[in-house]
Amino acid sequence: MDTGGGFRFVKGHGSLPVGREIEVESLSKAAYRKVRTSALAACLVVAVAAASITGMWTHEKYAVSVDINSSYEFVFNDFNRLVAAKAFDPEGAALLKELHLEGTVGEVLLELINAEEVHDNINLHDESEVMLITVVENRDHSENKCLAEINAMIEEEEIGSAVVEVCTRECDDRSDGMEVTHGRLMLAERLHELDPSVPVEQALEMPLCDLLLAVNEPKKARKTR
């Protein structure tokens, strides 16, 4: 019985003898604590979710290089949105500064291709021109989603000059600090494997079209035998 003459059930005390006095917090105070605890838990869930999304937004998921006249490397996050871009020569750097690229890998590459055609008077829809697009593989093979979008864009825009490759993480690591894209390094190392008389450093200095031709010619020769 409470001080007002009513009866209340008190959790955790079971049966009490007549005349036993205990102190319990008021209903309003208990309810407040319950609401406060629930609110704090909800805030914690929101904070964890926000931190997770922020981490995914800044996480470097896909690395893509493009070699045309200039060379570029782009990094995309878990949501396939551009988070970093780099050019390997002053002309490319000036173009990136002018474009303010953003969006998915397909959107970024299409805008870059259109800008390169305008700036350098080339026609990347013509197979006589050469453009190398290289995606770095991931351990979970999630780069396949990135490749699918790139190939869909190439097919839709009928870009006949595009050559799409996949390179290893190790090749990407070796390209760091070399001022060369992982795509071009991959081709140079591949040519050196095919013809050890051509050093990797020499292969890196070759025009892109000549490098691609040198790498692909042995393949064509083997097929014709």
> Comparing C-alpha atoms, which of 58, 63, 82, 81 is closest to residue 168?
63
Q: Residue 12: inside a domain, yes or no?
A: no
Q: Residue 70: which domain range? A: 60-224
d(Cα 61, Cα 2) in Å, to the nearest integer? 63
**pLDDT, tens digit, 9 for 90 and up, residues 141-168:** 888 999 999 999 999 999 989 999 999 9
What's the mean pLDDT when you consider all of the chain?
Answer: 81
Name which of 187, 88, 72, 69 is nearest 130 in CA terms.
69
Q: How far apart are CA 112 and CA 107, in angstroms?
A: 9
Q: Is residue 89 domain-resident?
A: yes
**Would residue 5 count as lying in a domain?**
no
Domain membership of residue 8 (yes or no) is no
Please tell me the predicted confidence (pLDDT) of residue 118. Answer: 76
Count of domains observed in the chain: 1
Is 3 part of any domain?
A: no
Does 73 reside within a domain?
yes
Predicted confidence (pLDDT) per residue in 18-44, tens digit? 666 666 555 555 555 565 566 565 555
| CB-count burial class (<10 Å; 0-12, 13-18, 19+) for 55 | exposed
Looking at this protein, which amino acid is placed at residue 160?
A: G
pLDDT for position 55 = 45
pTM score, two decimals? Answer: 0.71
Residue at 205 is within a domain? yes
Neighbours of 154 (CB within 10 A): 22
Q: Is 5 left (phi over 0), alpha (psi -120 to 50) or beta?
A: left
Question: Within a domain: residue 2?
Answer: no
Residue 217 CB partners (closer than 8 Å, separation 6+): none
Above pLDDT 70, what percent of the chain? 70
